[in-house]
A and B are shown apart, each in its own frame.
Chain A
C-alpha cells in the first residue's frame, strides 16, 4: 500500500491532471528510472506467458497467483484464463475456485468487476468444468 502512496505522491505532485492512458501499471512507474516503463499490454502478456508454461508446477502457480494478487489491480480475464488452465494441468480445482474468490476480493467496493470477469470467463469455466463459488454456495458465510 505504501508503494501506491509513494507512486501517488510522486506522480501527483508532478501533474494531477496528466492522464496517460494505461500508465497506472503497478510496477515500473518511477519518475527517475531510465528503464522503459512496462505497458499494460506487456504486463498482461508477461503474466499470460507465466501461467502458460506447460510444465508449471504447483509452487509456481501459487507464487504467481500470490504475486499477482499483491498488485494494485484486478487481473485481466486473459491472465485468469491462463491461470485457470494451469490449475487444470495441475489437477487443482480448489485453486481454480480460489482464484475466482480472489478476483471478487480484489474488486473491493467495485461490485461490477466480478460479474464482468465471470462473464468473460464463462467459456473457459464451462470448458474446464469449474464451478463458481456462487454455484457451490460457498460465497456466503
Chain B
C-alpha cells in the first residue's frame, strides 16, 4: 500500500514525456515545416517590383499614382 503513486508515475511519466515529444515532432513536421516551405517557395520567385507596379496601377497608393493619371 506504499508508493502507489510512485509506481504509477514510473510507468506513466516516461510515456507522457515520450508522447509529448512525439506530438511536438509530429506537429513540427506536418504543420510548421510545410508552412515554412510554402513561404520559402512563394518568395523564391517573388518579384517585388512587378508586384509594386501591379499595386500602383490598381491605384492603392497615395504617394505614387497609376501611370494613367
A-B contact count (CB 8 A): 41
Q: Which residues of B contact A56 (CB under 8 A)?
A: none
A76 within 8 A of B: yes
B1 within 8 A of A: yes
Cross-interface CB contact of B4 among A12, A76, A108, cutoff 8 Å: A108
How many B residues face the partner with a CB closer than 8 A?
A: 9
Q: Do the beta carbons of A12 and B10 come within 8 Å of each other? A: yes
Residues B11-64 near A (CB distance < 8 A): 13
Q: Which residues of B contact A99 (CB under 8 A)?
A: none
Residues A71-122 near B (CB distance < 8 A): 72-76, 107-108, 110, 113
Q: Which residues of B contact A25 (CB under 8 A)?
A: 2
Q: Do the beta carbons of A8 and B10 come within 8 Å of each other? A: yes
